[in-house]
Structure 1
Amino acid sequence: MFFTLFLVAFVSATLWPMASEVVFVGLVSQNPDAVWWLLLIATLGNSAGAWLMYECAGWFSQWTQQKLSARREAFDYWLPKVRTFGPLAMLLAWLPLIGDLLPIAGGLLKTRRLPTVLCLTLGKGARYAILAGAYLGYDRLV
């Protein structure tokens, strides 16, 4: 059960679409006493998938910057701003559609690693906590 949830959450954070929320809520409905473990596993799996996308994009960053050399002035203008405020954008990495692209953008633009990872994890964990609270009722979570 936990390994399946981790795997589905991990893959759903990459560019391959999967509905980890459906699996998470399904497992919470079957195992309400294990909600905190499920929340932890789903958050870790989804965050790890996002971290992988962030790191992969970072590896390709130099190649991408060379391809964008024609737009170098705009790139040089925005890069310091993104490095400063970019990690906070990772709090929104749970959003559908654009959420999977945020860690890639952070990796390409080389946002600071620790704040980026922390914000990714907080945002993804908050999503699963909201889902669990909505399903079970917030009074059962606390």
Structure 2
Amino acid sequence: MTELWLMFSGAFLAATLLPGGSEVLLIGLLQQDNQSWLGLLIVASLGNTLGAVTSYYLGRAGRFAKSPADFDNKYYQRSLGWFERFGVWALLLSWLPLIGDILCLIAGWLKLPMVSSTIMIFIGKTVRYSLIVFVFMAAI
């Protein structure tokens, strides 16, 4: 049970703007007990999604502090372009390093629908963790 809380916390913090290596944590916990892979996959996906939703709400709160002209950073520009092209579907890429955090922030800033945003984030995060678990389990 402790390992599930550790995985949830690590995944949650890694999805916020704090740096973290939830993938390394997942592999380490799988090495200790690969029989709990499903529980670890579920809590990693949920924790990482809830952390991303926190970033979404920070983006929503940031509407009062930033105008579109303030987004001159190349990662922000790339993320905005993805939203212009793909809409909420761009959040399937929320698992990407650096850009994923910004995607969640901008989704909130753009006031994309919360439910569909959360679903897309959850799918993207779950696919990433599923691939990690699959590769690990295939390697042992």
TM-score by length of 2: 0.82
How far off its partner does 1:44 sit? 0.5
Does residue 33 (structure 1) correspond to residue 49 (structure 2)? The answer is: no
User: 1:83·1:111 contact (CA, 8 Å) conserved in 2?
Assistant: no
**C-alpha separation between the residues in 1 aligned to 2:110 and 2:84?**
7
| Structure 2 SS opposite 1:100 | helix
| Structure 2 SS opposite 1:99 | helix
Does residue 123 (structure 1) correspond to residue 124 (structure 2)? The answer is: yes
**C-alpha separation between the residues in 2 aligned to 1:45 and 1:33?**
20
Partner of 1:76: none
Does residue 106 (structure 1) correspond to residue 102 (structure 2)? The answer is: no
How far off its partner does 1:68 sit? 4.4
Give matches, 1:37-116, under 5 Å.
37-65=39-67, 68=69, 82=83, 85-116=86-117
User: 2:83·2:90 contact (CA, 8 Å) conserved in 1?
Assistant: no
**C-alpha separation between the residues in 1 aligned to 2:55 and 2:98?**
15
Q: Which amino acid aligns with 1:19?
A: G
**C-alpha separation between the residues in 2 aligned to 1:96 and 1:90?**
13
Q: Which amino acid aligns with 1:137?
A: A
Q: Which runs of 5+ in 2 are unaligned?
A: 71-79
User: Cα distance 1:62–1:85, how it changes in 2: closer, same or farther (>3 A)?
Assistant: farther
Provide runs of 4+ in structure 1 moved above 2 Å: 62-65, 81-86
Q: Which runs of 5+ in 1 are unaligned?
A: 70-78
User: 1:93·1:103 contact (CA, 8 Å) conserved in 2?
Assistant: yes
**C-alpha separation between the residues in 2 aligned to 1:33 and 1:122?**
23
Q: Whose Rg is larger?
A: 1
User: 1:14·1:100 contact (CA, 8 Å) conserved in 2?
Assistant: yes
| Percent of paired sites with the same residue | 34
User: 1:83·1:112 contact (CA, 8 Å) conserved in 2?
Assistant: no
